[in-house]
């Protein structure tokens, strides 16, 4: 009898950790599913703007698409390694920005306006009001003007006005101080006005 009890104790001892493992495995699987869901939701929400930013920055549709994908895989790698992403948008933009700066060093060789015309980019339809007030010719002129901006200003202008990011977020993405970003936004706009002509003053 004693032996049976003893055996029972041993079996319980042996099975107890496995039950803990089973519970943990299920928790992990559930957590994994939640993480995947959150990640894909971030993709659905931010991939378009990331692609747009990357396209504007490097003027190459195919590379921009690849870099968009790479940005998300790096974000996942960061999560997978135990990193915490509290706010996806600035994190993704910062990742994309670093990716271009550190990895993809090729300079823009195609003008933005040329790219839009030649590679079939369509102007989004979700800005009907703006489209009514800005004729196609004027948009082309603005794109050429943005092209002429120094990269120092262009990136920040695009992040501020195309992506609607506040200076604080732009500062985090670019690694600059918020003051420097604010100054560059102001100066960039002034330079763009000069490029576009006196009627923009």
Partner 1 sequence: MKLLNFFKQDDREIAAKIRAATKVRMDDAARERTRALLSEYVKMRPVRVVEPAPVPGPLSGVSAFFMRHSMPAFAAVFVLIIGGGTAAAAEGALPGDVLYPIKVHVNEEMRATLATSAKAKADWQVSRAERRLEEAATLALAGKLDDATRAELDTNLDAHVKIADENRKQLEDENEAADASEVDTNIHAVLIARENILDGKLAAKAKAAARLETATFMMSARAVSAELNDGKASEGDEAESKGHRTAAKARIQAAKKFLNRLPVRLSDDARIQVETRLKEAAEAFSSGEVDVSEGNKVEASSHFDSALESATKIEAIVSVSTDTEDTEGAEDTSDEEGSGDDSGSGSSGGGGGGINPGL
Interacting residues with partner 1 between 155 and 184 (CB under 8 A): 157-158, 161-162, 164, 167, 172-173, 175, 182-183
- We find the least distance from the C-beta atom of residue 77 to partner 1, in angstroms, to be 7
Question: Left, alpha or beta for 19 (phi > 0: left; psi -120 to 50: alpha)?
Answer: alpha
Among 46, 60, 146, 170, binds partner 1 (CB under 8 A): 146
Note whether 122 and 97 are within 8 A (CB): no
Q: How far apart are CA 8 and CA 3, in angstroms?
A: 8
**Beta carbons within 8 Å of 154's beta carbon, 6+ residues apart:** 56, 146, 147, 188
Interacting residues with partner 1 between 90 and 109 (CB under 8 A): 90-91, 94-99, 101-103
Helix (H) or strand (E) holding 102: none
Under the binding rule (CB under 8 A), the answer on residue 186 touching partner 1 is: yes
**Beta carbons within 8 Å of 141's beta carbon, 6+ residues apart:** 196
Under the binding rule (CB under 8 A), the answer on residue 58 touching partner 1 is: no
- We find the least distance from the C-beta atom of residue 152 to partner 1, in angstroms, to be 16
Under the binding rule (CB under 8 A), the answer on residue 17 touching partner 1 is: yes
Q: How far apart are CA 135 and CA 75, in angstroms?
A: 38
Number of residues this chain uses to bind partner 1 (CB under 8 A): 96
Under the binding rule (CB under 8 A), the answer on residue 200 touching partner 1 is: yes
- We find the least distance from the C-beta atom of residue 49 to partner 1, in angstroms, to be 9
Q: How far apart are CA 61 and CA 120, in angstroms?
A: 10
Interacting residues with partner 1 between 28 and 47 (CB under 8 A): 28-29, 31-32, 35-36, 39-40, 43-44, 47
């Amino acid at each position: 009898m004693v032996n049976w009890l003893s055996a029972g104790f041993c079996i319980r001892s042996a099975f107890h950790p496995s039950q803990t493992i089973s519970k943990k495995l299920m928790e992990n699987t559930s957590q994994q599913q939640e993480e995947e869901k959150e990640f894909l939701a971030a993709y659905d929400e931010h991939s378009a703007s990331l692609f747009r930013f990357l396209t504007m920055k490097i003027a190459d549709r195919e590379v921009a698409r690849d870099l968009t994908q790479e940005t998300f895989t790096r974000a996942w790698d960061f999560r997978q390694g135990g990193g915490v992403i509290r706010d996806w948008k600035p994190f993704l933009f910062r990742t994309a920005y670093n990716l271009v700066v550190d990895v993809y060093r090729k300079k823009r060789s195609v003008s933005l306006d040329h790219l839009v015309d030649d590679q079939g980019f369509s102007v989004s339809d979700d800005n009907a009001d703006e489209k009514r007030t800005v004729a196609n010719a004027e948009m082309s002129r603005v794109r050429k003007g943005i092209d002429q901006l120094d990269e120092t200003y262009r990136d920040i202008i695009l992040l501020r006005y195309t992506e609607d990011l506040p200076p604080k977020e732009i500062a985090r993405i670019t690694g600059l101080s918020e003051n420097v970003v604010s100054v560059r936004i102001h100066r960039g706009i002034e330079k763009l006005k000069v490029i576009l002509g006196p009627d923009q003053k």
